Structure 1
Amino acid sequence: MEAVYLDNAATTPMDPQVISVMQKQMTQTFGNASTPNYYGHAARAVLDQARQTIAQSIHAQTGEIVFTSGGSEGDNTAIISTALYYQKNGRHIITSQIEHEAVLKSLHYLEGLGFEVTYLPVDDQGRITVSQVQRALRPDTILVTIMFVNNEVGVINPIAGIGNLLQDHQAIFHTDAVQAYGTQIIDVQALKVDLLTTSAHKLYGPKMLGFIYERQEIQVPPLIHGGDQENKRRAGTENVPAIAGFAQAVKINQALLDQQGAAQLTAKKELLLQELRQNQVEFQVNGPQPQLASPNIINLWFPHQATDILQIKLDLAGFVVSGGSACTAGSLEPSHVLIAMYGADSPRVRESIRVSFNKFNTAAQIKAFAQSIAQITLA
């Protein structure tokens, strides 16, 4: 029996069209994009076209896109390099308690160097407000880093509002958009963000690849030093076949967004909730209501069902879900996101699972999943 994959916030399966493009490029465009010869020029042309496609997807200029190895490198670069460069203007940073570990651990590193970080609390929906950021702002604040979409409960933060707030302040504004890029329409001009990070494998592209949007007025020294690739902003020979695949994934995804692809994912989430209710399963949604959250993520509390045991039983039944962020899946510690929302003593932090959908999931799969949940929890 083939397992039903419902852990797409961790990673998505690669789109067959993406695989096809990458295979073609690996065969035909194997040159180094930095070399001045026939094969290098061919690779450079593919790289330039991909950069243009990706820049257009977020209404950026091509020179503002820097390819990286993914979200973790992007967050580390955006936070650590920016803070070290702008520390002459202050050493205060603002973030939220529910950020991804790539953000939180970068900030912990900076705290060890003497920077001061304000961690904004969230309500029981996982939300922060523009007014919270405003109250935390100080004359010496140099960086605000707030994730666009939370990877565990799907809450969408008020990025545009924060961007507007910071227009008259010196602070650089970074958003981790790893979970947003692919499910949300993103316009960096309207959002007024200075730095934005993504990862290709969250929208049916290859792993170990992403990009940073760096507003052209912002100075972000490279975190990785070496050659002059990426206009001297990120050393290392570009993975042209993977970047071409990323661009193809973006093209497909933009077309889906234009055709209400997000609504299709939300419908799958609503179907799951409907089926759980019809099967008389006891549960509650962690975080915002489905229509107010990212369309592909829902976090569910099943009272008296330990997260790890429920995952194992579902896995044996042929359904793949997670207990939280994939980056901390090997830890026995409960989700820091759910703790921030409900407190460490809440049973939700040890009795919840994350379900996340992709465009390939069918209604039949979702109904079968709900029935399996019912069989396990009502036994």
Structure 2
Amino acid sequence: MNYPIYLDYNATTPCAAEVIEAMIPWFGAHFGNAASKSHAYGWVAENAVEEAREQIANLIGAQPKEIIFTSGATEGINLAIKGVFDLFPGEKQHYITCQTEHKAVLDALQSLEERGIEVTYLPVDKEGNISIEELRASILPHTKMICLMWANNETGVIHPVEEISKLAEERNLIFFSDAVQAAGKIPLTLQGIHLMAISAHKFYGPKGVGALFIRHNHTLPKPIAQIHGGGHEKGFRSGTLNVPGIVGMGRAAVLRKSEMKIESQRLQELRDLLEMRLLAISDTRLNGGKHRLTHVSNIAFGGVEGEELLKKVCQKIAVSSGSACTSISPKPSHVLQAMGLATDLGRASIRFSLGRNTTEKDVLDAAEWVEEVVKDLR
């Protein structure tokens, strides 16, 4: 198939060749169940899982025992949020999040609102930033958790995680962060973070595997399991482990740790080149401020119809109008709406996200095609 230029790395990344190579033996030669404790097939699989656990812990600065494997970030997010809710049956509960969070967080919290919790949805400014003062003022006597992502999946805007974590520590609150777009892209520090979700397929690992960081040796309580049946993963997540996927996630973590800094600089240069070309088109604007991931650009194109714009651009470039999870929805992005963007302009915004395989030629060809499409549509 003649695929278009791929600039949708925030939706998913291709498995690195080294990751695929590392996974293959675990589908065949080493097919054992990691929970089989009585023979060598199980022992070998378990050893591979524990090695991967350590590799992932090293990427994010955690201890291996703080890594719980899941099927992906959505499961990790639900375990974190709903697992904390279950800790306080019958109690008045309040949670703080942001209007621009991923739908997995917003939908999980909405499901709990139907069961009686209160939720504060912090607003953002026109660049997608929250106010720490507003966050501080939102804390109530019965606040249980702060749920704020590390980096936004649509704009790349990075939240002030260090300040948020300090505030959470001061108030002895559980701080959960969706770090799906940040892990493997920027250095992470876990000081003050109690729970954190990541996903392998966002940093060149396989789909269908992720991890939830759960802080060990802390007075704050750990979430209650949402999946039962065997007590796997220290009782937090029952189910036969996806050994090939976990091995792949571990290998991807090693790769990202070694190449993250240099790759981030390379992608920033390419991203800046793309922005320079696209923002030179009349009636365009950047959605998001300066403090954002180096590989992401979200650009609004005035004077065109959004659906037609995306359809035409995607003939030669694989991009999206926002989160892959909401790409089937005709509604404008909730992230851009929260940033104050008009509905028509929100629909006519495109997220470009670059990655490991992106070249300067890709960027220049993409910019040329977008210029042509916008000119034709206008």
Contact residue 95 and residue 118 of structure 2 kept, 8 A: yes
1:311 corresponding residue in structure 2: 310
1:201 corresponding residue in structure 2: 201
How far did 1:231 drift? 1.3
Contact residue 69 and residue 208 of structure 1 kept, 8 A: yes
1:355 maps to which of 344, 347, 352: 352
Contact residue 83 and residue 143 of structure 1 kept, 8 A: no
Query: Which deviations, in whole Å up to 9, do the C-alpha atoms of 1:257-310 show, x marking residues without a partner?
Result: 2x42211111111010223356x4542101113xx2111211000101222211
Query: Which deviations, in whole Å up to 9, do the C-alpha atoms of 1:85-127 show, x marking residues without a partner?
Result: 1356640110000011100010001100100000000000001
Could you tell me which runs of 5 or more consecutive residues in structure 2 were left unpaired when the two chains were aligned: none
2:300 corresponding residue in structure 1: 301
Q: 2-side partners of 1:187 and 1:160: how far apart? A: 8
Aligned AA for 2:306? Answer: T
> Equivalent residue of 2:228, what SS?
coil
Query: Which deviations, in whole Å up to 9, do the C-alpha atoms of 1:42-86 show, x marking residues without a partner?
Result: 000000110011112112111110000101101111111112213
1:369 maps to which of 366, 371, 375: 366
Q: 1-side partners of 2:93 and 2:13: how far apart? A: 37
Q: 2-side partners of 1:338 and 1:2: how far apart? A: 29
Contact residue 151 and residue 159 of structure 2 kept, 8 A: yes
Aligned AA for 1:94? Answer: I
Q: How does 1:171-190 map to 2 (within 5 A)?
A: 171-189=173-191
Could you tell me which runs of 5 or more consecutive residues in structure 1 were left unpaired when the two chains were aligned: none
Matched, 1:84 2:83: no
1:245 corresponding residue in structure 2: 248
Q: 1-side partners of 2:344 and 2:244: how far apart? A: 46
2:23 corresponding residue in structure 1: 22
What percent of counterpart residues are identical? 37
1:222 corresponding residue in structure 2: 225
Aligned AA for 1:235? Answer: S
Q: 1-side partners of 2:271 and 2:294: how far apart? A: 7
1:334 corresponding residue in structure 2: 332
> Equivalent residue of 1:27, what SS?
coil
Structure with higher helix content: 1
Q: 1-side partners of 2:298 and 2:112: how far apart? A: 31
> Equivalent residue of 2:135, what SS?
helix
TM-score normalised per structure 2? 0.95
Q: 2-side partners of 1:364 and 1:354: how far apart? A: 19
Aligned residues: 371
Q: How does 1:98-109 map to 2 (within 5 A)?
A: 98-109=100-111
Contact residue 129 and residue 158 of structure 1 kept, 8 A: no
Contact residue 279 and residue 286 of structure 2 kept, 8 A: no
Contact residue 153 and residue 297 of structure 1 kept, 8 A: yes
Query: Residue 8 and residue 102 in structure 1: after superposition, are their counterparts in 2 closer, same or farther (change >3 A)?
Result: same
2:162 maps to which of 152, 160, 163: 160
Matched, 1:231 2:234: yes
TM-score normalised per structure 1? 0.95
Q: 2-side partners of 1:80 and 1:350: how far apart? A: 32
Aligned AA for 1:54? Answer: I
2:33 corresponding residue in structure 1: 32
> Equivalent residue of 1:361, what SS?
coil
Query: Which deviations, in whole Å up to 9, do the C-alpha atoms of 1:107-163 show, x marking residues without a partner?
Result: 001100100000000000001122121010111100110011010111100111011
Q: Say what the alpha-carbon RMSD is for the aligned residues.
A: 1.4
Q: 1-side partners of 2:205 and 2:335: how far apart? A: 26
Contact residue 59 and residue 257 of structure 2 kept, 8 A: yes
Q: 2-side partners of 1:9 and 1:69: how far apart? A: 18
